[in-house]
Structure formats: C-alpha cells, structure tokens
C-alpha cells in the first residue's frame, strides 16, 4: 500500500508474508517507508506489527521457524539477497526494544562496545559524547560515564539504548513499543527525542498508544487480523496513509473504530 509519499522511499515491502512454521502470521504487506519520516504501526495485538518490523533488519532470522515470502528492499536492494550480511544490515537499520536492554557495563561502554565491534577507529570519547547528546541523555550522564548503565532509570536506560543504536550510524531506527515499560514523563521525553531524530533518521515505531501514534508519526499503518477458514488469525495491512488522514478521515470504518477506541 503506497500512501501519497513525495519523498524518497527507504524501505519497501512487496507482498511480504511471514510464516512461523506452517502458520501464516501476516499476509501480503506492501508498503513504502519514506526517508526522514516517522511511520507508526498500529493495530490489535497479534496482527503482525512486530513481525513486519523485525523483517526490516532481519531480526526474524534469529527465530528458526520464521520464513518470509515476498520482497523487502532497502534503498532499492533486496535485503534477503545472498550477499547481504545481516549483522551489517542491523548497523544500518538499528532496533530499540520494548524493554530497555542496556549491556551490564558502564554507560561509556554501552556506546563504545558496539562501535568497537563494528571497527570504529576514531575518537571514542567524542563518539560517546555525540551519541549521548543526540539521544538527549548527555546532561544526565556526563558526570557518571563509568557507572553501570543498569543504575539509570527506565527512561534513561531507553535513551541510552537509543544512543547505543545511534553510535553505529544507522539510517533507519526501528522501535517496538519503546515506551511500553516507561512512565508518562519518560514517554514524553522519548517522543520529543523521536521528533529530533527524524531530522537525520527514518523511524518506524510500533505503538499501542493512539495518542502517541498521532503525536509522533507522519504516516500510520493500521494492521488488522482476519480469521481464515482454518480459524487461524492472519494479520494484514488494512490501511496506510498520512497520520492525520488515518486519525481524522480514514477510508475504512474499522480504522475509524480502532483509532477512536471503539474496536472489538
């Protein structure tokens, strides 16, 4: 599904279906992710939002039963082609998870570790500072860089994880319910950060919070589930458009019901 997108497409799925074993989880998703925009994935639990998100940097490769059909391109190249190194792809397309997961290392090492593994040869102190600044966590951490990342609050840990992702210079940042475990104030800080980050990065965010989707995103993809003959539920992309259209004037009644909280 192609929303009316004027800018360059960074990620594109064409009839992407994902199976876990013989179970079809999500069916024939076709959508374009535009450069330097925020795209929100919304929809009921189990409709395949995380599944599709994980395909964008081949995190599903780590689930042995997962298999895809269809095609995903990143700046025009097939990300499932034989020559693609998934580790390299995950540097260019980073991911932030629901539960903040800093390494059990110092704040400094949380940034430096991944950069070093990826062969960073420049000024590490500078990289740490720049990354923490971009994730708006520098002021809170600059005097305790050698303390454990685990000693930070949940919201700070999540910003540290975003800093760690930024440090390897990605072009896309995938976020799977990044605020689900956070309090409202930490959530607003992450939302402000997302707003800053989109100047430089393309962001895809899964959220179950409708207000969040409407606040942070430029485009919204509404996924839904349909029951098949075998009574299995299969996710699909129901509607994709500019966020204001999805929230104010969606094409489908089910989209309207979902975004206004009258679902199910």
Ligand X SMILES: Nc1ncnc2c1ncn2[C@@H]1O[C@H](COP(=O)(O)OP(=O)(O)O)[C@@H](O)[C@H]1O
Q: Enumerate binding residues for Mg ion (CB under 5 A).
A: 50
Beta-strand pair 233-242/23-34: parallel
Query: Which of 49, 134, 159, 198 is in the footprint of ligand X by CB under 6 A?
Result: 49
102 binds, among ligand X, Mg ion, none (CB under 5 to 8 A by kind): none
Residues binding ligand X: number (CB under 6 A): 13
**Do residues 235 and 53 make contact, with C-beta atoms less than 8 angstroms apart?**
no
Does residue 33 contact residue 211 with C-beta atoms inside 8 Å?
Answer: no
Answer for which of 13, 17, 50, 141 binds ligand X (CB under 6 A) is 50
Q: Give the C-alpha separation, 146 to 196, whole Å.
A: 27
Write out the binding residues for ligand X, residues 63-122 only, by CB under 6 A: 63, 65
Stretch of 7-15, 39-47, 155-163, 183-191 lying at the interface with ligand X (CB under 6 A)? 39-47
Instruction: Give the pair of three-digit tokens for residue 77.
Output: 């190249």
**Least spacing, CB of residue 57 vs ligand X, in Å:** 15
Give the Cα separation of 109 and 128 in Å (integer).
9
Give the whole-angstrom CA distance, residue 262 versus residue 203: 28
Q: What are phi and psi of 123, to 5 degrees?
A: -80, 105
Instruction: Give me the least distance between CB of 236 and ligand X, in Å please.
Output: 11
3-state secondary structure at position 65: coil
**Stretch 193-252 residues interacting with ligand X (CB under 6 A):** 235
In the complex, what is the shortest distance from the CB of residue 149 to ligand X, in angstroms, rounded to a whole number?
Answer: 26
The answer to whether 34 touches 202, Cβ cutoff 8 Å, is yes
Nearer to ligand X, 21 or 104 (CB): 21
- Which of 9, 12, 19, 20 binds ligand X (CB under 6 A)? It is 20
User: Where does this chain bind ligand X (CB under 6 A)?
Assistant: 20, 25, 43, 45-51, 63, 65, 235
């Amino acid at each position: 599904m192609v929303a009316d997108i004027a800018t360059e497409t960074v990620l594109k799925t064409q009839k992407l279906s994902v199976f876990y074993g013989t179970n079809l989880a999500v069916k024939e998703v076709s959508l374009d992710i535009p450069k330097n925009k925020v795209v929100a994935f919304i929809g009921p639990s189990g409709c395949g939002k995380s599944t599709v998100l994980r395909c964008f940097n081949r995190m599903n490769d780590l689930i042995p039963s997962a298999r895809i059909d269809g095609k995903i391109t990143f700046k025009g190249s097939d990300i499932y082609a034989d020559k693609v190194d998934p580790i390299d792809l995950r540097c260019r397309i980073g991911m932030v998870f629901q539960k903040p997961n800093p390494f059990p290392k110092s704040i400094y090492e949380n940034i430096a570790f991944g950069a070093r593994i990826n062969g960073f040869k420049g000024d590490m102190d500078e990289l740490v500072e720049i990354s923490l600044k971009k994730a708006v966590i520098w002021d809170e951490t600059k005097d305790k860089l050698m303390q454990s990342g685990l000693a930070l609050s949940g919201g700070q840990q999540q910003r540290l994880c975003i800093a760690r992702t930024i440090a390897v210079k990605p072009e896309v940042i995938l976020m799977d319910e990044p605020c689900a475990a956070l309090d409202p104030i930490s959530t607003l800080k992450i939302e402000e950060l997302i707003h800053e980050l989109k100047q430089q990065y393309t962001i895809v965010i899964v959220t179950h919070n409708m207000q969040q989707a409407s606040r942070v995103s430029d485009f919204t993809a509404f996924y839904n589930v349909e029951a098949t003959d075998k009574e299995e539920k299969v996710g699909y992309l129901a509607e994709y458009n500019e966020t204001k259209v999805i929230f104010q004037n969606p094409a489908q009644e089910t989209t309207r019901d979902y975004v206004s909280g009258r679902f199910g």
